[in-house]
Amino acid sequence: MRTDDSGKHLIFFDGSCGFCNQAVQRIMRLDKKRVFCFASLENRELVTHFLGSDWQENSFAVIPEFRRLSRVLTYEQAVFFVAEQLGWPWRLIGIFRIFPSRILKWVYQLIARNRYRLGGVGQCSVPSPEDRKRLIHHLKMLEVQK
């Protein structure tokens, strides 16, 4: 079993979205402690296991401490959590919590609705071998990583 914090939080993202792929690549680069691993929302096996068979959202979700099957963060709460985990200066994004949740959710949904215009479709680069280990493709990978 792992004793460090590597890969303890799972980020689900829209794998066919260029904007989302760019965001994942940026998070991988900034995540010096390697606390995140990643899965595509197109992977029905993982979505069903972690988010449920009726999951309909399609842009971004984070499961903190996912091996314990804890809560699911979506919308602005997912963004705040990721920023906080990345540390300084990214945790400053948390100052936007002064705004009401409904406004933050509206801004998030506005960006999410336009994400294909912002980043195109399927524009992803090949990750490094180290980063490739952080991309979860099936449940058996998690058993090996523990």
- Hey, where are the domains in the chain? 9-145
> Is the pLDDT reported for residue 57 higher than 50?
yes
Question: CA-to-CA distance for 78 and 14, rounded, in angstroms?
Answer: 14
Tokens of 101: 């949740």
Closest listed residue to residue 85, CA positions, set 18, 16, 7, 2 = 7
36-40/9-13 β-pairing: parallel
**By percentage, how much of the chain surpasses pLDDT 70?**
84
Task: Give mean pLDDT, residues 36-51.
Answer: 90
pLDDT in tens, 86-145: 999 999 999 999 999 999 989 988 888 887 787 666 655 667 778 778 888 877 766 644
> Is the pLDDT reported for residue 5 higher than 70?
no
Q: What is the pLDDT of residue 142?
A: 67
* pLDDT, the chain, mean: 83
> Is the pLDDT reported for residue 26 higher than 70?
yes
Note whether 134 and 28 are within 8 A (CB).
yes
Lowest average pLDDT, out of 4-8, 30-34, 56-60, goes to 4-8
Name 9's bridge partners.
Answer: 36
Q: What is the pLDDT of residue 2?
A: 42
Burial class (CB in 10 A: 0-12, 13-18, 19+), 70: exposed
Kindly report the three-state secondary structure assignment for every residue of the chain.
Answer: CCCCCCCCEEEEECCCEHHHHHHHHHHHHHCCCCCEEEEECCCHHHHHHHHCCCCCCCCEEEECCHHHCCCCEEHHHHHHHHHHHHCCCHHHHHHHHHCCHHHHHHHHHHHHHCHHHHHCECCCCCCCHHHHCCECCCHHHHHHHC
